[in-house]
Amino acid sequence: MSAVKSEFLREGREDIMLETDQMRALERYKVKIDSGRIERRVRLNNGLKHLFSLSTVFALVVLAILLYRIGVQSAGWLDLQFLTSNLSRFADKAGIYGAILGTVYLMFIVVPVTLVLGVSTAIYLEEYASKGRIQRFIKVNISNLASVPSVIFGLLGLAVFGRMLNLGSSILAGGLTMSLLVLPTVVVASQEAIKAVPGFLREASYGMGADKWTTIRKVVLPVALPGILTGSILAMSRAIGETAPLVVLGIPTLILKIPNSIMDDFTALPIQIYYWTLDTVLTPEYANLAAATIVVLLAVLFVLNSVAIIIRNKFQKRF
Amino acid sequence: MEEILLNIQNPEIENNVFDVRGLNLWYGNDQALKNINMQIEKNKITAIIGPSGCGKSTFIKTLNRMIENVPIVRTTGEILYHGNDIFDKSMRVEELRTKVGMVFQKPNPFPKSIFENVVYGPKIHGIKDKKLLMEIAEASLKSAALWDEVKDRLNDNAYGLSGGQQQRLCIARCLAVQPDVILMDEPTSALDPIATLKIEELMDSLKQEYTIAIVTHSMQQAARISDKTAFFLMGDLIEYDKTEAIFSNPRDKRTEDYITGRFG
């Protein structure tokens, strides 16, 4: 051990000693330039660059073809009459008024149910539950639930809401089933948003004699709100687009009566697309109606996702 | 609260806001405070100094039980606040923190307007009258020497203020709750020298009405502003005396080594 080193050790400066040791190791080691190897690595880099861009192009091309076909097929069919008419046996008189209303009514159930249950769950897990094995177990399982196939939630809804609670294929049954489906997403998003609220803001509130709920209501939730909203809007757009759970619930093919209570039968936009597509064998024009409905559904989803992005960007990095 | 008010009448303990008796504190198995005995006197500035990890921040956060937000903390001994043990079951921590306010190391205003920041405390304690809230905001901001700088932009977001202004806003927010004691945990460590000077001047004027306990890394700061100084080392209270005595004539060798910069 050198004199300098022992001096450092005596003063408790292991950090400096470490540096000098590393420098000695560097002195023993010489980096040689291998032109062939560098050439190979640069070429690999270029090759991969093209491969990656090709992947992106592939996705874009598929999307473009899809949009193009839907656009062409729906041209001339998507008009005001289409949006405001009810179903009809005659393709040129049929419209999606009932389906739009059905989707709106569905949201009247899904939005309050998922927001109240989802945010409450997230608040409990992040703020109140004592950190431990049980809390971790619950968290992991909620994340797992978010990836359970939607058809399984449909079966659950059919068994519990449709049969056991005898709600049949009403708006209420559909809404509750959809709520179950997107609830895990809302819980996880809200948990992340609440977790991202800096601890020093909570401390400030506690330091002035605030209790936990006051702190959550006045400090944590306002700060977490943009994150909760972003996650929730994305979850809602999933609920609007999901078809499988509603098919399993047995949402009827043909609704001639406009629903006016949550216990009425209903149809929704994705169901309408599904059945019109099935029936193209009978009436080829139904393909055009399905395409037009897809355009409407995509427009709604696009607007929702844009709102989510706008909220996220507006409230990013405030501290 | 009634009990507390009664005890203030008692002349024997009138002068001591806090009386810490045999305080031990553990984080899990690591003991961070060892048998601390000290009194914090009314209308004085008490500085707490010591090297990093000596337990000085832990100590000050124990005085308003903020330390209990760390789940693995365990304490023994007692801390009397105007004669009442703060660890007693009948003591609501919310009540204690209303009387014992805190200013933190990093300025931590809420992402709300300047006005909403100052009236946060009064509002949660039930004051709703708009005119009264405005008066409280003005008085608190004036006491924190910030009023003239912000009076024309009370509705602007607090994060538009400079670091020093934010810290004075946090002091104003603390004053608005009308505390009895203000605990300060290295309040100027994130600030530049000019902002630091302003806060120090402010503290000097505040001690007329409040009792202040401040943790500081800067010995010059402790010497400049405090009436009494406590020196902590590895969880022990090594020396506690009048500030002049500590800095001119320390009784303990370790205190002398620390204040002369021989370690830390």
Total Cβ atoms within 10 A of residue B152: 8
pLDDT of amino acid B135: 95
For chain A, give the mean pLDDT: 86
Q: What's the CA angle centered on A159, arms A156 and A165, to 5 degrees?
A: 120
Chain B interface residues (partner A, CB cutoff 8 A): 64, 66, 69, 71, 94-99, 101-102, 104, 106, 108-112, 120-121, 124-125, 159, 170, 173-174, 177
Mean pLDDT of A281-307: 89
pLDDT of amino acid B234: 92
CA of B194 to nearest chain A CA: how many angstroms apart?
23
Q: What's the CA angle centered on B160, arms B155 and B164, to 5 degrees?
A: 110
Using a CB-CB cut-off of 8 Å, the residues of chain B touching A127 are: none
Backbone angles phi, psi at A255, to 5 degrees: -115, 115
CB B158 within 8 Å of CB B188: no
Cβ pair A203:B69 closer than 8 A:
yes
CA distance B264 to B258: 7
Residue A32, token pair as written in the block: 């040689």
Model pLDDT for residues A231-248, shown as the tens digit of each residue: 999 999 999 988 889 888
Identify the band that residue A210 occupies on the pLDDT scale cut at 50, 70 and 90.
Answer: very high
Which has the closest alpha carbon to B189: B162, B217, B226?
A: B217
DSSP string, A116-183: HHHHHHHHIIIIISPSSHHHHHHHHHHHHHTTS-HHHHHHHHIIIIIIIS--TTBHHHHHHHHHHHHH
Nearest to B177 among A209, A214, A219 (CB): A209
Cβ pair B170:A319 closer than 8 A:
no
**Which helix (H) or strand (E) is B182 found in, with range?**
strand B181-185
CA distance A163 to A249: 10
CB A220 within 8 Å of CB A190: no
Q: Is A239 an 8 Å CB contact of chain B?
A: no
CA distance B39 to B86: 14
Residue A268, token pair as written in the block: 């929704």
Q: Provide the sign of the torsion angle of the four alpha carbons A70, A75, A79, A81, taken in this order.
A: negative
Cβ pair A207:B174 closer than 8 A:
yes
CA distance B53 to B185: 14
Residue A240, token pair as written in the block: 């609007």
Mean pLDDT of B39-67: 93
Using a CB-CB cut-off of 8 Å, the residues of chain A touching B64 are: 207
CA of A189 to nearest chain B CA: how many angstroms apart?
21
Cβ pair A200:B108 closer than 8 A:
yes
CA dihedral B236, B240, B244, B247 (to 10 degrees): -10
Q: Is A82 exposed, middle or buried (0-12, 13-18, 19+ CB in 10 A)?
A: buried
Identify the band that residue B2 occupies on the pLDDT scale cut at 50, 70 and 90.
Answer: very low
pLDDT of amino acid A211: 94
Continuous H helices in chain A: 3-10, 14-28, 35-74, 80-84, 97-123, 133-145, 150-157, 171-195, 199-207, 212-215, 221-241, 244-249, 269-278, 286-314
SS3 A265: strand
CA distance B154 to B251: 50
Model pLDDT for residues B224-256, shown as the tens digit of each residue: 999 999 999 999 999 999 999 999 999 999 999
SS3 A53: helix
CA of B156 to nearest chain A CA: how many angstroms apart?
14
Cβ pair B98:A209 closer than 8 A:
yes
CA distance A97 to A99: 6
Total Cβ atoms within 10 A of residue A249: 23
Q: Is A254 exposed, middle or buried (0-12, 13-18, 19+ CB in 10 A)?
A: exposed
The 8-class DSSP code of residue A78 comes to: -
pLDDT of amino acid A15: 52
Nearest to B104 among A200, A214, A318 (CB): A200
Cβ pair A210:B94 closer than 8 A:
yes
Backbone angles phi, psi at B86, to 5 degrees: -75, -15
Total Cβ atoms within 10 A of residue B206: 19
Total Cβ atoms within 10 A of residue A110: 26
Evaluate if pTM is beyond 0.95.
no
Q: Is B136 exposed, middle or buried (0-12, 13-18, 19+ CB in 10 A)?
A: buried
Which has the closest alpha carbon to A91: A276, A314, A296, A300?
A: A276
More confident residue, A282 or A142: A142
Q: Decide if pLDDT at A9 tops 60.
A: no
Identify the band that residue B178 occupies on the pLDDT scale cut at 50, 70 and 90.
Answer: very high
Length of chain A: 319
Q: Is B71 exposed, middle or buried (0-12, 13-18, 19+ CB in 10 A)?
A: exposed
Most confident by average pLDDT, A158-172, A238-252, A276-290, B224-238: B224-238
Residue A149, token pair as written in the block: 């196939």
Where do the domains of chain B lie, and which CATH numbers do they carry?
2-259 (3.40.50.300)
More confident residue, A20 or A269: A269
For chain B, give the mean pLDDT: 90
CA distance A162 to A173: 6
Residue A316, token pair as written in the block: 């990013």
